[in-house]
Amino acid sequence: MTETVVTFCRICEPLCGMIATVEDGRLTSLRPDREQPLSSGFACRKGVAFTEVVNDPDRVTTPLRRGPDGFEEVGWDEAMADIAARLTRVLRAHGSGAVGWYMGNPAAFSYSHLMGVIAFIKGIGRHSHYFTASTQDTSSRLLASQFLYGSPLSVPIPDLNRTDLLVVMGANPLVSHGSFLTAPRIKDRLREISGRGRVVVIDPRRTETAAAHEWLGIVPDTDAFLLLSLLQVLFAEDLARPGARVRDLGWLRAQAAPFTPESTAGSTGIAPEQVRELARALAGTPRAAVYGRFGTCVGRHGTLTNYLIDAVNLVAGNLDIPGGSVFSTLGIRGQRWAMVVMGALLRRAYRRDRGRIGGFGPVIGAEPAALMAKQITTPGPRRIRALFVSAGNPVLSVPNGDELEAATEHLDLMVGLDFYRTETAAHCDYLLPVTTMYERDDFALTFQQFQATPFRQATEAVVRPPGRARTEWEIIDDLMRRMSKRTPVFAALALLRAALRRLGRRFHPRPLADLIIRLSAGGAGAGRTGLTFDRLTGAHPHGVVVAPEIATGVLGEVLAYGDRRVHLRHPEIAAEIAALAGETGTARYPLRLIGMREPRSENSWMHNSPLLRRGAHRPHRALMHHDDAAGLGIADGAAVRVSSATGSIELPVELTGDIVRGAVAIPHGYGHRGTGGWRLANQVGGVNVNLLMSSEPGDIEALAGMSRLTGVPISVRPAGETVPSTPPTRQARPCAE
């Protein structure tokens, strides 16, 4: 029997509508949904290729236990009983501080996975370690919001539908499809903005997005200088229109005063007249917004940079206005009080719960993943002895994967929840097979407040899980049940589980997601009409636009501070500004490393799809300016050795004029090895760029504990040229193509 099922893609943030074809219970194809009102017939190649992930012969569909001869199949009950027993031993001997969980990027796309992990890792005890991909991605953005608005959950996005001037810093939406911004068909949205106004892309590389719009090349990791000089111009030329809900504007003005465009040009490479022109345009265009993303989050001063992006929007009069930088709230009545309570708790945790290594405070409850290896190997209280990894491949995605690999051997228990035998999973005692997104129900909770057009869509599972795969929620619930006598939270959840069973109901986070849908704009509340989870999947499978535009004038609602004002003055921010000025480069590592995402690659995990490898595919390579290469005697296509103070890798180089001089771009997510069980990915070649990134506490961002993944000082030399006392080198294995 063949049926078509309406659903949506959850690989990346636009959540494009999809039509799945299911034949005899098996997913046979995915195509874009023309009736989804926002993605309206668009899906990228990765989304379509996902059928190959679901049906991948390399997929793990049975629990695996690592034995002396590698992984062997094991039954669920046996696996879970042993995991619970070993975890109990760890808890008894060392307390909750010995337990850690790393939750990777795809978890953000599953409400039940997210809620399950939080219940588990916070419920196991207050000393546990919770790591997420966010310290490789967004923590600095979230912490900037915590400083400015009192809550990390108040994150502004550009009002794409209405803006006439969009300044994009450190994002490449034509390839990434947008981040912290759920806007399907973002290429079209940007083209429309250029049609009626301007899109200016500030990036060290003339990216796909920059090439389609205006490009302003910037020296990597100098955005804070540029933003301070924009503020200096706004104040000096009397262009500041910040509105009434702000405190300590004079303080900000004084902080920015020394950073004239003339003084920052040497750092940024951007001419003073261009800075002035941009500042005037931002203040003079009624609908203008600055949007920063990944590239502005992962430098030396990510929190400061994000703070300054919002400060520029605020001072130019562009915060919380139509076409400006806006807060796409869920529209829940009384949401301000939830903000106030959550904000106070999270601010307190940030101040109080300082980590034992480096002293970093948690940002939305998560601690720096860069320090995970050291948390495993450093003796003392809260040393991690049991580690869970779900939806992540930190051996490739966090700094210094070699250190993490070595550290895993010190663990008493390591459990992976994945459907591939990744480089990280290879070190697990147990690998537990999970469902893919098409085998579970979903509502993309995380991304609701990043919707450029307020929209709701939910889906039921499209096909049944293959083999013995289970959802993360089922696995976590099982474990919490087996350990219900171990912690007060698990005991309380056991009572709730039992009570629900007596009522004939299952214990599951879906009612919570349903409640949020009901309370949000367009929701049914307790009523008979309006949206619920069931009505979204039943009556509105293509999704519902709940408002044509994002509501503005909501700043008072998203401010979590008691005085309902934006707080500009923070000693931490002052210290970061002071630190900026004092930094200099080293002669030994004169170049700056930046990242680069590719259309057919998704972090570390879409390299096993034949469709995505088909045709002209470029090998893993470093992109470098031809003038820089000429000076070093490096020819196009030559193998080079790239070294940092942490490590050294070898790979081919591609020369270009589309990058600022001094910057070198290398994609991440490569370096699959025989240890991983994905056959095609292992043939793809390439090398792990994160071997160049430092995991030393002094090298990660001071306020949010962000890994430093851009602007890293490096040197590039022809491969084979011997350089005395450089760190060990990892060779790129040859590419299959």
Ligand X SMILES: Nc1nc2c(c(=O)[nH]1)N[C@H]1C(S)=C(S)[C@@H](COP(=O)(O)OP(=O)(O)OC[C@H]3O[C@@H](n4cnc5c(=O)[nH]c(N)nc54)[C@H](O)[C@@H]3O)O[C@H]1N2
Q: Which residues bind ligand SF4 (CB under 6 A)?
A: 9, 11-12, 14-16, 43-44, 46-47, 177
Q: Least CB distance from residue 602 to ligand SF4, whole Å?
A: 7
> b/e per residue, 359-374, with b = 16+ CB within 10 A?
ebbbbbbbbbbbbbbb
Q: Which of 37, 43, 34 is nearest to 16 (CA)?
A: 43
717 contact choice in ligand X, Mo ion, ligand SF4, none (CB below 5 to 8 Å, kind-dependent) = none
Which residues share a beta bridge with 131?
A: 102, 367
> Shortest gap between Cβ of 504 and Mo ion (angstroms)?
40
Closer to ligand SF4 by CB, 15 or 531: give it.
15
The alpha-carbon radius of gyration of the chain (Å, integer) is 25
Residue 494: CB minimum distance to ligand X, A: 24
User: Out of ligand SF4, ligand X, Mo ion, none, which partner does residue 14 contact, by CB within 5 to 8 A per kind?
Assistant: ligand SF4
Q: Which does 462 bind (CB under 5 to 8 A by kind): ligand SF4, Mo ion, ligand X, none?
A: none
Closest CA to 169 of 210, 208, 212: 210
Name the minimum Å distance from CB 537 to Mo ion. 27
Indicate which of ligand X, Mo ion, ligand SF4, none lies near residue 197 (CB less than 5 to 8 Å, by partner kind). Answer: none
CB 458 within 8 A of CB 441: yes
Closest to 43 measured CA to CA, from 53, 34, 54: 34
Q: Which does 221 bind (CB under 5 to 8 A by kind): ligand X, ligand SF4, Mo ion, none?
A: ligand X
Select the binding partner of residue 296 from ligand SF4, Mo ion, ligand X, none (C-beta < 5 to 8 A, by kind): ligand X
Distance (Å, whole) CA 557 – CA 474: 36
Minimum CB–partner distance for residue 644 and ligand X (Å): 12
Q: Which is nearer to ligand SF4, 11 or 20 (CB)?
A: 11
Between residues 222 and 707, which has the closer beta carbon with respect to Mo ion? 707
Nearer to ligand SF4, 44 or 349 (CB): 44
- CB nearer Mo ion, residue 137 or residue 320: 137
Q: How far apart are the C-alpha atoms of 506 and 461, rounded to whole Å?
A: 17
DSSP for 89-148?
HHHHHH-GGGEEEEE-GGGGG-HHHHHHHHHHHHHT-TT-EEEEGGGGTTHHHHHHHHHH
| Nearest approach, Cβ of residue 450 and Mo ion (Å) | 13
Supply the minimum distance, in Å, between the C-beta of residue 185 and ligand SF4: 9
Q: Which is nearer to Mo ion, 137 or 418 (CB)?
A: 137
- CB neighbour list of residue 456: distance below 8 Å, 6 or more residues apart: 443, 448, 517, 520, 522, 531, 536, 540, 543, 544, 546
All residues at 6 or more sequence positions from 469 whose CB lies less than 8 Å from its CB, including other chains: 61, 419, 433, 434, 435, 439
Give contact residues for Mo ion (rule: CB under 5 A): 137
Q: Which residue is nearest to ligand SF4 (CB)?
A: 47
H or E stretch covering 496: helix 488-502
- For ligand X, give the closer residue by CB, 486 or 613: 613
* Nearer of residues 130 and 419 to ligand X, judged by Cβ: 419
Measured torsion, CA atoms of residues 371, 373, 375, 378, in degrees rounded to the nearest 10 = -120
Q: Which partner from the list Mo ion, ligand X, ligand SF4, none does 171 bind, CB cut-off 5 to 8 Å by kind?
A: ligand X
- Which tokens is 396 given? 């490739």
Largest CA distance in the chain: 75
Cβ 598 to ligand X, closest distance in Å?
Answer: 6
Nearest Cα residue to 442 out of 86, 211, 110, 72: 110
Please state, as a whole number, how many other Cβ atoms lie within 10 Å of the Cβ of residue 610. 10
Residue number with CB closer to ligand X (390 or 487): 390
Question: 96 vs 136, which CB is nearer to ligand X?
Answer: 136
As measured in angstroms, the least distance from the Cβ of 17 to ligand SF4 is: 9
**Which helix H or strand E contains 372, and what residues bound it?**
helix 372-377
Q: Minimum distance between the CB of residue 719 and ligand X, rounded to whole angstroms?
A: 20
Structure tokens at 654: 């591609």
| 15 touches, from Mo ion, ligand X, ligand SF4, none (C-beta below 5 to 8 Å by class) | ligand SF4
User: 3-state SS of the chain: helix, strand, coil percent to 5?
Assistant: 40, 20, 45
Contacted by 116, from ligand SF4, Mo ion, ligand X, none: CB < 5 to 8 Å by type: none
Beta bridge partners of 2: 23
Q: Smallest distance, Å, CB 712 to ligand SF4?
A: 27
Give the residue with the Cβ less far from ligand X, 295 or 522. Answer: 295
Minimum CB distance to ligand SF4, residue 598 (Å): 13
**Could you tell which of ligand X, ligand SF4, Mo ion, none binds residue 168, using a CB distance below 5 to 8 A set by kind?**
none
Choosing among Mo ion, ligand X, ligand SF4, none, which partner's interface includes residue 217 (Cβ < 5 to 8 Å by kind)? none
Query: Half-sphere exposure of 384 toward its Cβ, with a 13 Å CA cutoff?
Result: 31
How far apart are CB 135 and ligand X at their closest, in Å? 9
Which residues fall within 8 angstroms of residue 528, CB to CB, at 6 or more apart?
Answer: none
Burial 289-318 (b: 16+ CB within 10 A, else e): bbbbbbbbbbbbbbbbbbbbbbbbbbbbbb
In 3D space, the residue among 668, 665, 716 whose CA is nearest the CA of residue 688 turns out to be 668
Separation of alpha carbons 327 and 325, rounded Å: 7
- Rounded CA-CA distance 173/187 in Å is 7
Shortest CB 114 distance to ligand X, Å:
11
Which of Mo ion, ligand X, ligand SF4, none does residue 16 bind to, with CB < 5 to 8 Å depending on kind?
A: ligand SF4
Nearer to ligand X, 328 or 436 (CB): 436
CB 699 within 8 A of CB 357: no
Least distance from C-beta 176 to ligand X, angstroms? 3
What does 47 bind: ligand X, Mo ion, ligand SF4, none (CB cut-off 5 to 8 Å by kind)?
A: ligand SF4
CA angle at 677 for the pair 671 and 682, rounded to the nearest 5°: 35
Residue 715 binding target from ligand X, ligand SF4, Mo ion, none, CB below 5 to 8 Å by type: none
For ligand SF4, which is the closer residue by CB, 21 or 726? 21
Residue with smaller CB distance to ligand X, 40 or 446: 446
Comparison of 15 and 709: residue with beta carbon closer to ligand SF4: 15
Nearer of residues 306 and 603 to ligand X, judged by Cβ: 603
> Could you tell me the two tokens for 229?
């000089």
Q: Name the residues that contact ligand X, by CB under 6 A.
A: 12, 104-106, 110, 133, 136-137, 169-173, 175-177, 179, 202-205, 207, 218, 220-221, 223, 293-296, 299, 390-394, 397, 417-420, 422, 434, 436-437, 472, 594-595, 597-599, 601-605, 668-669, 689-690, 709-711
For the bound state, the minimum distance from the C-beta of residue 693 to ligand X, rounded and expressed in Å, comes to: 6
Measured from the CB of residue 10, what is the shortest distance to ligand SF4 in angstroms? 7
Which of Mo ion, ligand X, ligand SF4, none does 9 bind, CB closer than 5 to 8 A by kind?
A: ligand SF4
Of the two residues 14 and 416, which places its CB atom closer to ligand SF4 in the complex? 14
Q: How many angstroms separate the CA atoms of 345 and 366, rounded?
A: 14
Query: Which residue is at the shortest CB distance from ligand X?
Result: 295
Select from 565, 639, 460 the least CA-distant residue to 248: 565
| Binding partner of 228, given Mo ion, ligand SF4, ligand X, none, CB within 5-8 angstroms per partner class | none
Q: What angle, 0 to 180 degrees and rounded to 10, lies between the N-to-C axes of helices 272-284 and 223-236? A: 60
Closest residue by beta carbon to Mo ion: 137
Report which DSSP code applies to 527: S
